[in-house]
Structure 1
Amino acid sequence: MEFLPTSYVEDYIETHPNPLNELGQFVYSRTYSRWLEERGRREFWHETVKRAIEYNMSLEYKHLKKIGYEINLDRMQDEAKELFESIYHTKQFPSGK
């Protein structure tokens, strides 16, 4: 299940440059960016943000399913987009590393 379409992320980064300054980029690359074996490189900022959002949204989805609540995928996708914009621009961060 993909809560944040790759096409949305790709379109978004076309008009919004990476917001990290040099120090932020260094810390991000050293600490949070994962190695992508299939691509032979480390993640870019937008890929890490997407990965974190997909993981956190999947936790909500699994929990709602487990307890028998109705799952509104449209609402969850809208929430994922809002989270992407907020995290991408460093206005908020998910917990964890």
Structure 2
Amino acid sequence: MTSETPSTRQIGSNNENFTIGSYNGFEIMIRDSDGFVNATKLVQQINEREHTTKELRNITRSPVFVEYKQYLEKISPFNLNGPLCYLLPTAFMNDVRGTYVH
């Protein structure tokens, strides 16, 4: 088994900073202001690696996800001070846009 040394870099858009970390062959984008992860970019990388065509929008609209999200927001086990996930507006550059999850 080979190990990869994690690396990070930062980019900015609309006065927001994002850290991109490389781990296990994936680039994971984190919004610095709240620690949310860009799930859209992660699913795209998984699709490329696994030769699949999963779409995050289909997952987040599924009844199972909607019910689970409502449950977590109701009991708030993670002490969330906001939503479980959100979509960055189009005012942000393409490199950072997507659905961010906690």
Range into which the TM-score falls when normalised by the shorter chain: under 0.3
Q: Which has the higher helix share?
A: 1
TM-score, normalized by length of structure 1?
0.26
TM-score, normalized by length of structure 2?
0.25
Higher relative contact order (Cα pairs below 8 Å, separated by 6+ residues): 1
